[in-house]
């Protein structure tokens, strides 16, 4: 659920939404890492000024913790 939300959110913000990819890696039963891959131009937009956009996204994702009983770490990377 969290990775689908991040994918849709990122596609709304990105200039090149077709290049957005999201992957999830389960570390253990209660923790997962979500990696968002985007175009180099879009990574700046997704992080936001002073990291405000990614901080907001992480705050929303913590709401998923209550429903899914799982913690998440969100990482943004650019296509090389």
Q: According to DSSP H, which parts of the chain are helical?
A: 2-13, 40-47, 52-68
- Kindly report, residue by residue over 19-65, the tens digit of the pLDDT: 999 999 999 988 999 999 999 989 988 888 898 988 888 888 888 77
- Residue ranges and CATH numbers for the domains of the chain are 2-78 (3.30.300.20)
d(C-alpha 28, C-alpha 12), whole Å = 30
The pLDDT value recorded for residue 57 is 87
d(C-alpha 70, C-alpha 18), whole Å = 28
């Amino acid at each position: 659920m969290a990775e689908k939300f991040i994918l849709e959110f990122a596609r709304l913000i990105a200039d090149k939404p077709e290049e957005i990819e999201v992957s999830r890696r389960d570390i253990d039963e209660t923790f997962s890492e979500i990696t968002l891959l985007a175009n180099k131009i879009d990574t700046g937009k997704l992080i936001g000024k002073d990291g405000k956009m990614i901080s907001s996204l992480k705050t929303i994702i913590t709401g998923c913790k209550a429903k899914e009983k799982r913690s998440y770490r969100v990482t943004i990377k650019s296509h090389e």
